[in-house]
Amino acid sequence: AQDTKLNRKVAIKFLNEEFSTDADKLDRFVQEAQSVSALNHPHILTIYEIGEVDGTQYIATELIEGKTLREHIEGDDMSLVETLKIIKQIADALSAAHEAHIIHRDIKPENIMIRKDGYAKILDFGLAKPVKHLSGGEDATVQLIKTNPGMVMGSVRYMSPEQARGKETDARTDIWSLGVVLYEMVTGRNPFVADNIGDSMVAVINKEPEEISQYVSNAPDFLQEIISKTLQKDAVNRYAEMEDFASDIKKLRFELEHNSNENKTVRLEAGSGENETVIQKAGVQLTTEEQNDQTKTKISGTQAVVSGIRQHKLGAAAAFIVAVIVLSGFGYGLYKFISGQDETKPVGKVGELKSRRITGDGKTSESEISPDGKLLAYRTENSLRIKQIETNSEVEVVPKDEFKYFASLVFSPDGNFIYFNGEKEQESIPSIYRTPTLGGRTEKILSDGWGVSFSPDGKQIAFARGNADGVEQSYYIANADGTEQRKVVSLRDKTRFFAIPPSWSPDGKFLAAGLADDSLLPKPRFVPIVISLSDGTYQKLGERHFLDWGGIKWHPDGRTLYFNGKESTDTFQIWEFQYPNGESRAVTPPLINYGSISLTADGQSISAIESKYTSSIWISPDTDPKNAKQVMPDSFRTNGFAWTPDGRIVYVSDQSGDQEIWIMDKTGENSKQLTNDRKAKSNPFVSADGGSIVYFNPFNGEMYQMDIDGGNLLNLPEPGLAPTFSPDGKWIIYHQWISTIGFTVFRMPRGGGKSERLTDYVARYPRYSPDGKYFVCQLSDQKAQSWDRLAIVQAAGGIPEKILELPSGSIGIPRWTPDGKGITYFNKGIRAMPIDGGESKKLEIPENRSTGLQDYEFSLDGKQIGITLSKRTSNAVLITNFR
């Protein structure tokens, strides 16, 4: 309708005439208007007027041009960041309503509108009541079901258990309902779905929802924790306030948007220093479970999109650079690989190191050795255990169900207590706890802190704390019992302290910590620092910067520090730094991840978590990956593979100890090493004539070409990423970073020569079509802050002839289907879609596989497909003879 007085469009809601005499419905109708008009919030529908015409009540509200959240869930693919953005808006609106003593009590996707610009609006406060008037829930639940069973079929699935029982309700009812909505947005299914109202109510009251990892295997752990807390059957165990829920959503979203590790949770697992899983770190987990969801391909207007790309190309480059580095550097975003040792970098006495495994379950995620070296505290499957190293006897001191999360273990100097970070079900921020070493009552020392380091006399602790906006990190000192806290130093914005526990120097004068300088992106930005406790100033330890790191520890000599970090490889190595000159060396080789380091009091032993990743190659007799059979054992790691015209497999493997290129028959037999230069290599590609192989170094962007037998190695004249040959073998196409655009597509003649830019917009991962007439590449979407578009471009370059929109979260290098009529991509598995539009089809992988899908390639003749699968194990080890 049109408001003629104010010249604006409005929406008018009428109460049906047959209900006008129904006092209950009339009261609800008026109540909705009163409830909403009492609120003034941008994410709540605005009421303009309430009135009556010819005996019929109406409400005039703002007109929302958009779709319901239900329509978005069923018809659109949203990234996790987009989902969290919407949930945060709804939570903020409900928080405002709760502050006004109004509970909605009917939150569900149908009652949430999403405008075209992504703005969320809550509708229908028809079940809302002022809190002070609520004596129970019977009138809004059971009675409503009795009188209008059809109307509430959808509502029942979002009711809280107390609503379903007809008990008293408060703000935590809305927290439950919004938790159900979040669950459904993430997984695409309601956790309490049933055939009828009665069964749905029983499910709400009794059924525990399945973990979201059953459906979305790349979901951050923190997201599961948030959902679990909202869906506690007992309201006492949920978030106490909607504001607390909104705060956790904000933390998770900030972590996803700003951390170089896309799927790192906001809990800041300080000191663990280990990768989650390789696929998670790359922002992808390719599920091996069957999923029935089908996604639709949409073709958008080419000229308009390209125009937008050109206008915002620099902004897009900045927004995506961290993710691009991860994607392009580590196996096209599908798998993170360990590089061979660079001979120019200092390495510790690797051959003299001694390592002894202390745990063997393959699931140890963090450890800490006691000062006397006799005990090991370790975390496995969220349980804290103490092991006597010499006798192998152990005891559980913190059971699984006591904390929803804990990390950053440290023994007190006398060995009597273990301090750690933890969050219990009712908590939304990490606190510092301690528990007796041999078991006993766990005690909270202080709230809102993480990472503990003891002063030399054991009387004080240092710890870290972040502010609410997540851009400031500070270090504090307190007594060992948590009293008398004081801030030592803090930094914020572009230069800030990194989220690792500090380490107190043996002389008591300094804290060792980490500095994150975001202005250095995309280059490595982390550097160790030493902070003076007398004046809060700090100095960097040398000029060596790191891509990522875990924890730092002083050696008892006061002149040496050890920490685990990742410089130009994909592994967390243990590094040694000298104080104060900053000289450094790698202690461990770059073939194994070492996280969660700690030292004994005599400085002779380091405990660490040793993580290993292996992968295997599987070959299918046809183009269905479900029929693939394993041809290479899970003994080594691969980083890309390619087919030769005669059906052999060229692949990168560390089976010789370094990253090298190998070739073998597709049966796994007759393997032969082709290179031996100990340099990082990624994703080889073979020319259609079978004469040449092209590949690149993911850490410096150098591209190489060599003969199929490994001879005539040529360092190509231009740097680039993801090079492949054109079908006629004349060109090498690749993407390269340039300052004026960001990543964009180039080609150069086979064997080297003058390069030629093919695109003047942000694009990456080009692949030629089988007939060589086109190439496909990824496009950035500045508005959505993603790479969820593909462009079909003529082989000679130019503007896209067609743009395909992928489901949110799609990632990795696109491939053409063998017939050239479709594109394959990663999104919760391998999916194939026709380039002329239509539904995508999921390609299943072998059943009963607990490992993650890493990569895939069609054979050059288009008749077969090969895949690689990966897995991870982690155990605590004791390292000696490292100095």
What is the per-residue pLDDT for 438?
Answer: 86
- Looking at residue 325, what is its pLDDT? 28
Q: Measured on CA atoms in the order 553, 557, 558, 562, is the torsion positive or negative?
A: negative
Task: State yes or no: pLDDT of 285 exceeds 50.
Answer: no
Q: Is the dihedral of CA 483, 486, 489, 493 positive or negative?
A: positive
**Pairing assessment for the beta strands 865-880 and 605-619 based on DSSP bridges:** antiparallel
Q: How many helices (H) and strands (E) does the chain have?
A: 13, 58
Strand 510-517 and strand 503-504: the pairing is: antiparallel
User: Read out DSSP for 279-299?
Assistant: HHHTT-----S------EEEE
Worst-scoring range by mean pLDDT, 105-109, 282-286, 503-507? 282-286
**Which of residues 320 and 456 earns the better pLDDT score?**
456
Query: How far, in Å, CA of 656 to CA of 680, rounded?
Result: 13
Mean pLDDT calculated for residue range 861-873: 89
Query: pLDDT, tens digit, for every residue of 131-188?
Result: 443 333 334 333 333 334 333 434 789 999 998 888 888 999 999 999 999 999 999 8
- Using N-to-C axis directions, what is the helix angle for 242-258 and 221-230, rounded to 10°? 170
User: Is residue 377 within 8 Å of 386, Cβ to Cβ?
Assistant: yes
Least confident of 253-262, 513-522, 556-565, 692-701: 253-262
- In Å, what is the CA distance from 80 to each residue of 63, 73, 109, 219, 320? 28, 12, 17, 8, 16
Q: How far is CA 282 from CA 81, 297, 326, 432, 823, in A?
A: 16, 24, 6, 30, 21
Amino acid identity for residue 789 in this structure: R
Residue 319 has pLDDT above 60, yes or no: no
For residues 598 and 606, give the distance between their C-alpha atoms in angstroms, rounded to a whole number.
6
* 866 vs 255 pLDDT, higher one: 866
Is there a contact between 14 and 57 (Cβ–Cβ < 8 Å)?
A: yes
Rounded Cα distance between 75 and 68, Å, is 11
783 pLDDT higher than 70: no
285, 289, 856 from 829: Cα distances, Å: 8, 9, 11
pTM: 0.48
What are 479-518's pLDDT values in tens digits?
999 999 999 888 765 556 665 789 999 999 999 998 877 6
Distance CA 490, CA 512 (A): 14
* Topology (CATH) of 67-258: Transferase(Phosphotransferase); domain 1 (1.10.510)
User: Mean pLDDT, to the nearest integer, of 414-424?
Assistant: 91
Reported CATH class of domain 296-339+613-787+807-873? mainly beta
HEC letters along 122-169? ECCCCCCEEHHHCCCCHHHCHHHHHHCCCCCHHHHCCCCHHHHCCCCC
Please write the tens of the pLDDT for every residue from 37-61: 666 677 888 887 777 777 777 778 8
Would you say residue 332 has pLDDT above 50? no
> Chain-wide mean pLDDT for the chain?
79
For residue 402, give the 3-state DSSP assignment: helix
In the chain, the percentage of residues whose pLDDT exceeds 70 is 77
Which pLDDT score is estimated for 524?
A: 62
Element (H, E) at 397: strand 394-398
What confidence score (pLDDT) does residue 643 get? 97
Residue 74 has pLDDT above 70, yes or no: yes
User: Cα 482 vs. chain centroid, distance in angstroms?
Assistant: 33
pLDDT number for residue 272? 29
Average pLDDT over residues 786-801: 91
> pLDDT tens digits for 430-467?
899 999 998 899 999 999 888 899 999 999 999 988 76
Q: What is the pLDDT of residues 243-281, one digit of tens each?
A: 889 878 877 876 676 543 443 322 222 222 332 222 222
Residue pair 855/332 in contact by the 8 Å Cβ criterion? yes
Residues 669-675, mean pLDDT to the nearest whole number: 89
pLDDT over threshold 60, residue 400: yes
Answer whether residue 349 shows pLDDT above 50: no
Question: In terms of pLDDT, which residue wins out, 213 or 419?
Answer: 419
Cα 738–chain centre separation: 27
Dihedral sign for Cα atoms in the order 491, 495, 497, 498: positive
845: pLDDT strictly greater than 70: yes
- Do 95 and 246 contact (CB within 8 A), yes or no? yes
**In terms of DSSP H, where are the helices of 627-758?**
none
Q: Which residues contact 335 (CB under 8 A, 6 or more apart)?
A: 278, 279, 282, 615, 639, 854, 855, 868, 870
> Does position 710 have pLDDT exceeding 50, yes or no?
yes
